[in-house]
Amino acid sequence: MSDTQQSGFIGHLIELRNRLMKAILSILVIFIALVYFANDIYAFVAAPLVAHLPANSTMIATDVTAPFFAPFKLTLFVALFSAVPMILHQVWSFIAPGLYKHEKRMLIPILCSSILLFYAGISFCYFVVLPIILGFFTSVGPEMMTLSPDISSYLAFALKLFFAFGVAFEIPVAIMVLCWSGATDIKSLKEKRPYIVVGAFVIAMFLTPPDVLSQTLLALPMLLLFELGLVLAIFYSKKADTVEHEQ
């Protein structure tokens, strides 16, 4: 490796380090701004469960440190999720200098849509999925049972669902990227639709709690998003072909 290549490689490593530090700093700044409201944030996330608790029933903490660490942990995850645009901006700033102009025009909409879809998945989980799942689970237990969920267990349950739906809503973006890059095409994806239906339920089985309702509520949106991705990929492929003809 020549001195020029070595200095260039070291320069890329320094740039990568700086971008990582800025991404971590953005998470830290948001976390510091939110940590004072940690209990309020937890109360907001727990609202779908509290709304379905029987009368005179409350959430409990089975661990002495849980009343502190559960809201603290949730606030850290909220800071991480909130910093996603800043993190992706740092990723974009690192890779953009190595891209052609037409590649930048193609990838910017994908980057923006991926952020919006991630937040849409989390919102769909909170406002639609959680009330349905929690309403079902809190209504099917034996009458002699007193439901008092543990705050740490509920947090793990909710975060797992938020992450699963946030990632699942990225399916249209993934399809567009795969078709644009030439890794696959729309015709091939349509031919594999029966396998994708089965795969959606298998993936939902691993990403959600072990119950059929949660798996179905994730698998069905994944299939709808897959169909949406096929439609958008047609439009995106046409854009890509146009760009290539313009060169």
Tokens describing residue 60: 């409990």
List the domain boundaries for the chain: 2-245
Tell me what pLDDT residue 7 has. 66
Q: Compute the distance between CA of residue 189 and CA of residue 192 in angstroms, rounded to an integer.
A: 5
Can you tell me the distance from the alpha carbon of 10 to that of 12, in angstroms, rounded to the nearest whole number? 5
**Which residue has better confidence, 58 or 140?**
58
pLDDT score of 243? 44
Question: The pTM is what?
Answer: 0.82
Q: 68: closest CA among 38, 45, 27?
A: 38
E strand residue ranges, the chain: none
What pLDDT was estimated at residue 236?
A: 64
Pair 105, 247: CB distance under 8 Å: no
Share of the chain above pLDDT 90, in %: 30
**Mean pLDDT of all residues in the chain?**
84
Termini Cα distance of the chain: 34
DSSP letter (8 states) at residue 149: -
3-state secondary structure of 158: helix
Distances from the Cα of 192 to the Cα of 185, 202, 231, angstroms = 11, 15, 16
Q: What is the pLDDT of residues 196-232, one digit of tens each?
A: 899 888 888 887 777 788 788 888 999 999 998 888 8
Q: Pick the residue with more confidence: 146 or 78?
A: 78
